[in-house]
Structure 1
Amino acid sequence: MKRNNLRYTMIGFILGVLVTILLQELSFGTRAAAPFYGAGIGLLVDNMITKWRSKKGP
């Protein structure tokens, strides 16, 4: 994994953990999956940023 991929993945994972901590009324399955959803969203954001930078140029 590239450095940016890992960075955005970890940011998404941490935000998912914070969501599970702050929103206690979520069901157990959602609370268990939220950090992994956050990691996936982090990867999607990284891909969008990478595509935007490649279209923009050096």
Structure 2
Amino acid sequence: MVHCPDCETALADESDVEFVEMDATTGFLAASKRFYVANCAECGNTLGSGVAGAKGGGGAV
């Protein structure tokens, strides 16, 4: 079983982890990278982060 290192809450269900999308950056191909963090739903401790696939169009002009 996986536990939060801060509050020791068991991370057994999808609802135990909160995924938050952060600001995206636009690249030269008019696509933006999506940055995200995974937080413990109980205490808010950041458990990990990463970059997701690009969003088409990315809001570039």
TM-score normalised by length of structure 2: 0.26
Does 1 or 2 have the higher relative contact order (CA < 8 Å, sep 6+)?
1
Q: TM-score, normalised by structure 1?
A: 0.27
Which structure's CA Rg is the greater one? Answer: 2
